[in-house]
Amino acid sequence: MSFPLIVAHRGYSAIAPENTLASLRKALEAGAHACEIDVHLTGDGEVVVMHDGTVDRTTNGTGALREMTLDQVRRLDAGAWKGPEYAGEPVPTLAEVLALLDGRAHLVCEVKDADIEEAVARTIVDAGAIERVTFIAFDHQMCARLRDVLPSVGVLWLIGDGDHDPGAVAEACLESNLQGVDAFYGAISEELADTLLRRGLSLWAWTVNQGDEALRLASLGVTSITTDDPVLIASALG
């Protein structure tokens, strides 16, 4: 049995403030093969790293990112909510993340907004990072647009919990020339895994924080596992 790659979800988010450079550094120190982040656009067109469309949950500020400038976002504290040792940690830009990971880990970039594909692509091209990025998105049409904007970058379609027709999922990926699927781990059955892998598609799993579940997924041939705790999953996989 081959073991999956380990992707640190929003960095090492089990112990550090998600989607910050501090969290990504912790993931690198832990030996994660790749780091996953989320990106949005500010009101002045800058690509920043945050899961939500507002700053309320993970900073000391309030408001929508689209209504703020990069300078306003950068003045926020994105770390103190996780612990005093992270106080003053800023919201990073995508460019800063690419610079940090350069030569150290692959980047899995979840694109959250429907109209930022070109801005994200420009940032990646400017950083010379085309070969070290993979896109993921829940919106299938967005996946197709990302594939068109940067044809040499792999794109995986995110799917959540629930029943999924394995054949229909595979066909949708093949029609849009996607690399494969990044599925909620609970939705990954033997049938789904077998169908996708037989069609030459990749199958990734998110967000796995249980060792026994990681072993089950590895036995099904899952390519990579996204986790909040890369040390726990690495230990479980041996």
Q: Which residues contact 170 (CB under 8 A, 6 or more apart)?
A: 195, 196, 199, 201
Distance of CA 34 to the CA centre of its chain: 9
Pairing of strands 47-49, 34-41: antiparallel
156 in Cβ contact with 178 (< 8 Å): yes
Pairing of strands 180-184, 47-49: unpaired
Which positions are catalytic?
9, 51
